Amino acid sequence: MNIKDFDPEEFDIDEELDIDPNALDVELLRQPTLFGFYGKLEAKAKKERDDTWEDLKVTRSRLIKEAWENPSVLPGGKANAQVVEAYYRDHKDHIAGKKAFNEAEYNLNLIGVAVAKVRERRYSMIEMVRQMGMEYFSGPDIPRNLGEEYQAYMENRSSKTRDKVKERMNNSRKRTRK
């Protein structure tokens, strides 16, 4: 994935980072690749954010220079600090640059969350391996299928979350109608 192709609306890292408890060896082998991928994506997102910040500063400087050199573009035709600041802040180029910077910052924050989740995934797998070594998982007389139990847990959690969100949205709609 390239940072230019990154779409925060379609960003669903949870599915990719799920741990299959029945294949911890494979999951542990996959971990460095995942960390490398998301680490590179984070570096690209930082560069994108920094580039948009520099573009914004250049746009700001250009607009300020333009306002001081040609006061006729300003309302009232006279230049002072407040009017020049209002001029560049209201200019469409500055607004577009600010939006691009905010979008780059948002993408960087989302990818930062992904990198943190990849780190947390590693710690979780190490703990699972440690618990298996202590035979923590061998307590019941009937063998457990951790994969099925985890899948059932995730489905139950997702449906509960959807129900809570739907209920809150309905409640907020009822409040706004009154």
The length of the chain, given as a count of residues: 178
CB atoms within 10 A of CB 19: 19
Q: How far apart are CA 154 and CA 157, in angstroms?
A: 5
Are 67 and 85 in contact by the 8 Å Cβ rule? The answer is no
List per-residue pLDDT tens for the chain, 178 residues long: 556 666 666 767 777 788 888 888 888 888 998 899 889 999 999 999 999 999 999 999 999 999 999 888 888 878 889 889 999 999 999 999 999 999 999 999 989 998 999 999 999 888 888 887 776 655 555 666 777 877 787 777 666 655 655 566 566 555 555 5
Question: Cα–Cα distance between 20 and 26 in angstroms, integer?
Answer: 9
Rounded to whole angstroms, the Cα distance separating 100 from 104 reads 6
Tell me the whole-structure pTM to 2 decimals. Answer: 0.67
